[in-house]
Chains A and B, each alone.
Chain A
Amino acid sequence: GAGVSQTPSNKVTEKGKYVELRCDPISGHTALYWYRQSLGQGPEFLIYFQGTGAADDSGLPNDRFFAVRPEGSVSTLKIQRTERGDSAVYLCASSLSGTSGSYNEQFFGPGTRLTVL
């Protein structure tokens, strides 16, 4: 597609439930990133994929959060046993390559607004 797409655009769930958020990157982009943005804050890094593997998952807050990218394209962020504090906008970005030596700009999707009641 023309840009990074994310589904759903909005997700309301109850505390304790499981949610999946999907990201479809720009075609041909090998690097994919997940961020979380709370109201009035800048995006906070969660995890970065180079191809199918997680190159850096240091931003995942705890073991309730998990992300996969099985075929090196679409990625799913999975949150188990959701808590009210997980409410935020979850942003996905992609870039041509995440390899060192030169930086490729990250293109962001519109985000998924998650509300945990």
Chain B
Amino acid sequence: EDQVTQSPEALRLQEGESSSLNCSYTVSGLRGLFWYRQDPGKGPEFLFTLYSAGEEKEKERLKATLTKKESFLHITAPKPEDSATYLCAVLLRGGSQGNLIFGKGTKLSVKP
């Protein structure tokens, strides 16, 4: 069964304390892996797409990396405004374009 698991479920950081969020996946074939940010009461906001092992993408304090089994979202020197739930999703090779399989997310809290 195709599965996406995110850890930890929740993470509390002090402002400036760098850390990483993990997304591990067990799928029949990966077409792409996606990271989204979701604020309370809002829809997910797209962050990154990764297509192949070894690929890395950066945006401000965020950096996403991909291996054959997992992806990491590294947060460098986080600020309180980075507090949100971060969702990971996979698109299967051979599957439909629309069928993103999401993990449950990691809820990040950054305290000043």
- In the complex, the answer to whether B87 meets A42 with C-beta atoms within 8 Å is yes
**Residues of the B chain whose Cβ atoms lie less than 8 Å from the Cβ of A47:** 98
Residue from the list B41, B99, B100 in contact with A58, Cβ < 8 A: B99
Residue from the list A33, A44, A56, A100 in contact with B102, Cβ < 8 A: A44
- In the complex, the answer to whether B91 meets A103 with C-beta atoms within 8 Å is yes
Bound together, the chains give a CA A41 to CA B4 distance in angstroms of 12
CB contacts under 8 Å to B, within A3-52, are: 4, 31, 33, 35, 40-45, 47-48, 50
> Number of residue pairs across A and B with beta carbons under 8 Å?
71
The answer to whether residues A42 and B96 also contact, given A4-B43, A106-B46, A110-B43 and a CB cut-off of 8 A, is no
Whether B45 is near chain A, meaning CB under 8 Å from some CB there, is yes
Closest to A50 in B: B97
Residue from the list A4, A42, A59 in contact with B104, Cβ < 8 A: A42
CB contacts under 8 Å to B, within A71-117, are: 91, 93, 98-100, 103, 105-111
- In the complex, the answer to whether B98 meets A108 with C-beta atoms within 8 Å is no
- In the complex, the answer to whether A48 meets B97 with C-beta atoms within 8 Å is yes
- In the complex, the answer to whether B96 meets A43 with C-beta atoms within 8 Å is no
The 6 closest A-B pairs by CB, nearest first: A48-B98, A42-B102, A108-B43, A56-B96, A98-B97, A105-B46
21 A-B pairs whose Cβ atoms sit less than 8 Å apart in the complex = A4-B43, A40-B104, A42-B4, A42-B102, A42-B103, A43-B89, A43-B100, A45-B100, A47-B98, A48-B97, A55-B97, A55-B98, A58-B99, A59-B99, A98-B98, A103-B31, A103-B32, A105-B34, A105-B46, A108-B36, A110-B41
